[in-house]
Chain A
Amino acid sequence: MIRQPISTRLTVLLGIISVVALLAGYTLLSSMQHLDNPDDTTIPTWSQLGEGLQRLIEANPRTGERWLLLDAEATATRLFLGLFCGILGAIILGLLMGCYAPIEALLVPPMSLLAKIPPTAALAVFFVLVGTDTEMYVAMIAFGVLPTLAQSVYLAVHDVPREMLYKAYTLGASQMELIWNIIVRAVFPRLIDAVRLQIGPAMVYLIAAEMILGDVGFGYRIRLQMRLLNMNVVYPYLTFLAVFGFTMDYCLRLLQRVTCPWFVRHGR
C-alpha cells in the first residue's frame, strides 16, 4: 500500500544504512582512484583526510593561524548578517505586499523577476552599491534570498482565512493589531519553512562570492586548496558546510515546533 507506515526502528535502521552506504561508496571510489595512482590527492583516503583535517584545525606553523577558526568566523558573520537583513526585509515587504493592494501591484512584478537572478552574476552592481567588504557579501545574500522569501510571505498572507480577518475586525481590532495578532502569527510557521529552503541558496551565493573575492572564508579556502589539489582540505570543509546547513535546518524545525505547535504538517 502506498504510504504505509513502518516502525520507528526500521526508519532509524534505514537511515543509518543510507549514510553507511554513502561512506562505503566514497571509500570504494577513493581506493579505486588510488589503485590507478597511489599518490592521488584528488579523492583522498580516510588517512589523507585525517591529515587534511589536522592541517585546518592546528595552528599553521609559519603564521600561527588556525584556518578553520578564521574561515568559520568570517563566513558565519557574513552569512548570518546577510540572512538577517534578507529575512527582515522579506518580512516587511511580504507583509506590505500581502496586506495592501497598491503595494502588491507595485512590488509583485519586480520581486518575481529579481527572484530568478543569481546575485553573483551581478557582482559589478554590488561593487558600486556597497563596495567590496563585508557589506558586499551581506548585500549579495540579502538580495539573493529576499525576493523569494518576500514572495513566500506574501503568498502566506493571502492564505490567511478571510473569516479570521472579519472576526478580528468585528471584535474591533485596529489595522496594526490585526497585522500583529492575526497575520504575523498565521504567517510565521510558513516563513520558517521558506527560510529553511533559502539557507541552501544563501550558502551557495556566499561561497561563490568568497571564491571570487575573499581573502578569508570557506569559499576562499576551498578555491585555493582546490587549485593546489589539496582535496583532503576541501572535502572536510564541504562536510562542515553540510553539517552546518543540517543543524540550521534542524534548529528552525525545532523553533517551528515549539512556537507554532498548532501548525502540523503531515508527518513532520
Chain B
Amino acid sequence: MKTRTSRYILIAAALAVILAVPAIWIMIRADEVPTFSLAWSEYPSWSAFGVAHEFGFINGKKGEIGPIEKKWGVDIELKEADYDTCLVMYGSGKCDAVCITNMDALIPCLTRKSVGILPTSTSFGADACIVDARITDIQQLRGKKVYGLAKTVSEYCFVRNVEILGEKEADFRFTNMDPAAAALAMQQKRDGFDAIVVWNPFVLETLNKRKDARVLFDSTTIPGEIIDMVVMTQESLDKPGGDKFAWAVIDAFYTINQQMAKSETRDETLIALGEKFSNLDLNSMRKVVQQTRFYSSPEEGIKVLGKEATAGIMEKVVAFCVSHEIVPEAPAVGFGSRAEAKEVAFRLDPAYIKGYVAKSK
C-alpha cells in the first residue's frame, strides 16, 4: 500500500515538472518583449507579412522573435484568417492590427478607434467588371444582373464606374454572390451570367480560362480610391511598445518590397507572395502586382496617408458606405496626429512611417 502511494506521488511530481517547465519557459520568453498581433488574409500586398515570416525576417509565432522584431524590441504575432474573419477578429478585439481596405476599416472604427498606419497597395485593375463578349457597352447591362459581393469594394468599384460613365446606379441590378462562385459560374458560361464584378485572383483566372470574356471596366478608373492598408487600434498604439510594433510591421513590409525590387530576389519573392493566393504562374503574378500597385517606399506611404492625397477619397468612400447602409452613421475621419485630428473614429497617420524612416537611419 505504502509503495503504491509513494509511486503515485512520484508520478504526480514528474507530471508537474513536465508541465511546468515549458510553461515557465514560455512565460520567461514572453516577458522579454511585448507581444502584439496582426491579423492578415491572403492578398498580394498583405501576404508580404506571411512571406516575411517564411523568409525569416520576422517570426510570426507568439513568443518567438526574428531579426526585425529584435531590432525594434517587440514580438509580432501573425494571425492568418479569411478576410471576413479578420474583420470580426479585429472588431471583437482579438488582434491589435488588421490588414483591411480603407472602406471596410470604416465598419470596426465605429466601435474601436482605429489608426491607419501603413498603406500597402491600391487596386489598379485588381477589381474588374468582366463581361461576356457580346456586351460592349455598359448600357447593355441595364436591367441585367451583375454578380459580385454586395457592400464591398466590388460594389464600390461598380457604382463608381457607373457614375463615371454617366449612368444611374438604379438602372442596374447588382446581385450578391461570392466572387469565387461568380467567377466559377462565369467560367462555366452559365445562363444569365453576362457580367460579374470580382477581385484578383478571380479577375485574371476568369480571363485566362474564358478567352471570349473581356473587362468592361476596372479599378484603373479610380486609382487610389481602394486602398489596402494596415489598421491598428488606438488602444493598442497607446500600450507600451505599441509604436514599436507599428514600426516593426512597417519595417517588415518595406523589407519585402526591397526584396521585390532587387533583381536576384524578385522572382522568388513574387512566387512566395502568390503561392497561397492563387494558382497563377509567375507571369500572371507579375501582372497581379501591377494591378495591385504596391506602395513600395516610405515616401509613397507618407503621401497616401496625407490629407492632400486622400481626404477627398475618404469623403467619397464614407458617402458610399452611408448611402449603401454599410455603416449606420458616418464615422469621423481625420488625418495626422492625435492632436491634429481630435476625437475621430478613423485616423490616417503617417507619423509611424516617418518614425520608422527616422529610426532606421
Q: For the complex, is B110 an interface residue (Cβ under 8 Å from A)?
A: yes
Q: Which of A128, A214, A223, A229 contacts B91 (CB 8 A)?
A: A229
Choose among A37, A41, A131, A227 the residue that contacts B190 (Cβ–Cβ < 8 A): A131
Q: B278 at the A/B interface (Cβ < 8 Å)?
A: no
Q: Number of A interface residues, CB 8 Å?
A: 27
Among B172-180, B215-223, B252-260, the stretch that binds chain A is B172-180
B313 interface residue per 8 A CB criterion: no
Chain B nearest CB: distance from A202 CB in Å? Answer: 20
* B151 located at the interface, meaning its Cβ lies under 8 Å from any Cβ of chain A in the complex: yes
A33 at the interface (CB under 8 A from B): yes
Whether A227 and B111, one on each chain, are in contact in the complex, defined by CB atoms closer than 8 angstroms, is no
Q: Are B107 and A132 in contact (CB under 8 A)?
A: no
Task: For B151, give its contact among A36, A43, A228 (CB under 8 Å).
Answer: A228
B19 vs chain A, min Cβ distance (A): 28
Chain B binding site: helix, strand, loop or mixed by DSSP? loop
Determine the chain A residues whose CB is within 8 A of the CB of B181 once the complex forms: 123, 132, 212-213
- The answer to whether A215 and B111 have CB atoms under 8 Å apart is no
Residue interface mask A228-265, B partner, CB < 8 A = 1: 11000000000000000000000000000000000000
Nearest CB on A from B41, distance (A): 12
The one of A40, A124, A212, A224 that contacts B111, using a Cβ cutoff of 8 Å: A40
Q: Which of B91, B110, B150, B327 contacts A42 (CB 8 A)?
A: B91
Count residues on chain B whose CB falls below 8 Å from chain A CBs: 32
Q: B315 interface residue, CB < 8 Å from A?
A: no
B178 and A131 within 8 A (CB) = no
**Known A40-B92, A127-B184, A213-B181: A223·B84 in contact at CB below 8 Å:** yes
Q: Does B264 contact A (CB under 8 A)?
A: no
A-B contact count (CB 8 A): 74
Pair A227/B151 contact, Cβ less than 8 Å? yes
Q: Which residues of A contact B151 (CB under 8 A)?
A: 224, 227-228
- Assess whether A41 is in contact with B175, with CB atoms less than 8 Å apart: no
Residues of B within 8 A of A37 (CB): 93, 111-112, 235
Closest CB in chain B relative to A51 CB, distance in Å: 10
Contacts of B185 in A (CB 8 A): 127, 132
Q: A37-B111, A40-B92, A229-B111 are in contact. Are A128 and B176 (CB under 8 A)?
A: no
Q: Which residues of A contact B191 (CB under 8 A)?
A: 131
Cα of A40 to Cα of B112 in the assembled complex, Å: 8
A39 touches B326 (CB 8 A): no
Interface residues of B, Cβ cutoff 8 Å to A: 84, 87-88, 91-93, 104, 107-108, 110-112, 150-152, 175-178, 180-181, 184-185, 188, 190-193, 235, 325-327
**Footprint of B on A, CB under 8 Å?**
33, 36-37, 39-43, 62, 123-124, 127-128, 131-132, 211-215, 220, 223-224, 226-229
A-B contact pairs, 28 of them (CB 8 A): A37-B93, A37-B111, A37-B235, A40-B93, A40-B111, A41-B91, A41-B111, A42-B91, A42-B92, A42-B93, A43-B92, A62-B325, A123-B181, A131-B191, A132-B181, A211-B178, A212-B177, A213-B177, A215-B175, A215-B176, A224-B150, A224-B151, A226-B84, A226-B88, A227-B84, A228-B107, A229-B88, A229-B107
